[in-house]
Structure 1
C-alpha cells in the first residue's frame, strides 16, 4: 500500500520545516480514495484536463515535503510559477491517448525552469511548439539561476538537442504529438547555494525516497490516462523509475531506454547519432508520421 510507503512521521517531520519555495495551500492526505489522488478527474473529462488535475494533485502533495536540506538550498517548481505555458502545452498537445510516452527526469535551469515545458529550450518552445505565456517567480530565487521566462537568453542544451531532433524527424509538432508525448517524472529543480544542479538521482536517500513515492504514483496516473504502448525513459534514472511503475501496473507496456541529451553525458559519435540509432533500432519512426 502506498499509504504505508509514505510514513506519517516522515511527512509530519518534513511538513514542520516546510520550505517557502513551494507555493500554494497544503492538502490533507487522509481520504477515502487514494492519498495521492483523493479526487480523481471525472471519467468524461478531456485527456488534457485529466493531465492538468494530475499536475495539481502532485504539487499539493509535494508542498508537504521539505527538500531544502544541505546541500539543497533552492527548490523551483515551474509547473506552478509557469503554469500558463504548461497549460497551453497540455491543451495543445495532450488531447488524446498516446502510443509512446517519453519521460524525462526533472527541470533544467535554462529550459523548463524558464518555460514550464519539459526540455523547454526557449527558442524551440516559442518557434516550434508555438507556446508563450506569463512566467512568474519562485518564492526563493537563487541569484545564479534567475528566472526570466521567455526573455531568458541562455540556451538549454538538453532541450535544444531533444526538440531539434524531433523537429528533424517529424517536421511539425503535430506529427510528433499525434502519437507521442513528453512528460517529466519530477516537476522540481534542486540547486545548491552556488546554483549547482542536484538531480533526483543525486539526492540523499531519505529525500529521494519521499520524492519517488509521490512521483512514481503520479507517473502511474499519467500512464493510466494516456495508455501508451511504449514508455521511453530518457536517461538511466528515468528508465529505472518507469520500469518500477510499469512493473507495479502489471500491464503489457514496453519500457525502453533512450540516451539523455545532457551535455554532462559524453557520446563518441554525438547524442544525435545515438538517439537516431535508438529510434531506428526500436522502430519508433512509424509513430512520427
Structure 2
C-alpha cells in the first residue's frame, strides 16, 4: 500500500483524502458546471464552490430591477451579511451531503439579520457558533430594520427548525455531517409596510417571477451537482416543487421529499416538532442524525 510505504501520518492521510475527494468533484463539475471553468483547481473546496455559486447568482440577480408594485424593498443578506453567511458555508459545507434541506427565501428576523438560512439570532450565535459583521441593505424598510446580531425579535420558523435538530442531534457537527440547509432564493421581498412577499406569491409580476426562477434554478442545479445529495427535503411546497423540477433533468437518482414549513402561518401547523419527528421516522431518516 502507498500509505504504508510513505508512512503517512493521520493528518497527511486526511489531506490525501480531501484532495482526492475534491479532485473527483472538480472533474465531474468541469463537464457540467456553468459557474466553473473547464479545469478547476484541485484545492477548490466544496465550501468555496458554494460561495462562488452564490456570488455568481447575486451578480445575475443584481441586474434585475425587482422594485415594481407591490415590491418596495429587496434585501440580500448574502451580500450585506456576507461575513456570517460565508462563515456558515466554511464551517458546515466542506463535504458532500446525504440530505439537502431547501428553504425558500430569507425571513425578516432570521436570515435577513444573520445571513444564515432560518437564522434565528440566538440559535445562530449560541448553537451554530456564528457571528460577524452585518451591514444594511441600500434601502431599508422602517418596519423591517436590520440590526444584525443585536436583533431581539425571534424568528419562529428558525427557532423551531434549529431547536428541533439541536434536540435530535445534540451538536451542529452531527447534523452537518450528513445534512446541509440552503435557501433557494437569497432575496427577501417586502411591501411598503414590510409585509413579506415570497417567490411563490401571486402578486409578484410574472416576468420578474420568471427571471428570478430561472436564475435560482440554475444556481440550485449547481448546488445539487456540488453536494450530490441522495435526498432533497423541500421545506414547504414551493421548495419541493423547485427541487422536483430540477431533479427530473439530472441523471442522479435523488429522492425529493416534502416537509411542512415551520412557520406559525402554515395551516395546520400546531406542533411542528411533532410533525418533523413523524416525518423523519416515516421516511427512515433517523440514521442520518445519529
RMSD: 1.6
TM-score scaled to structure 1, two decimals?
0.86
Hey, which of these two has a bigger chunk of helix by percent?
2
Contact 1:41 1:50 in 2 (8 A): no
The answer for the alignment partner of 1:83 in structure 2 is: 82
Q: Highest CA radius of gyration, 1 or 2?
A: 2
For residues 86 and 58 of structure 1, do their structure 2 counterparts lie closer, same or farther at Cα, with a shift above 3 Å needed? same
C-alpha distance in 2 between matches for 1:41 and 1:237: 35
- Aligned-pair distance for 1:41? 8.4
Instruction: Give deviations 1:156-211, integer Å, cap 9, x for gaps.
Output: 01000000010011010000000000000000000000000000000222211110
Cα contact 2:47–2:93 (8 A) shared by 1: yes
Gaps of 5+ in 2: 1-30
Cα shift at 1:284: 1.1
1:82-127 CA-to-partner distances (Å, cap 9, x unmatched) read 0000111011000110000000000000000000000000000000
Q: Does 1:190 align with 2:189?
A: yes
Q: How does 1:81-120 map to 2 (within 5 A)?
A: 81-120=80-119
Distance in 2 (alpha carbons) for counterparts of 1:131 and 1:192 = 30
Q: Which SS does the other structure have where 1:245 is aligned?
A: helix
Structural mapping, 1:170-209, within 5 Å:
170-202=169-201, 203-209=204-210
C-alpha change, 1:150 and 1:269, in structure 2 (3 Å) is closer
CA drift of 1:36 comes to 5.7
Task: State the distance in 2 between where 1:69 and 1:239 align.
Answer: 27
- TM-score calculated relative to the size of structure 2: 0.86
4+ long deviations beyond 4 Å: 33-36, 38-41
Partners of 2:264 and 2:178 in 1: CA distance: 28
> Cα offset for 1:34?
9.2
**Within 1, Cα distance between the matches of 2:162 and 2:286?**
15
Is the aligned partner of 1:163 residue 2:184?
Answer: no
Q: Which runs of 5+ in 1 are unaligned?
A: 1-32
C-alpha distance in 2, partners of 1:152/1:40? 43
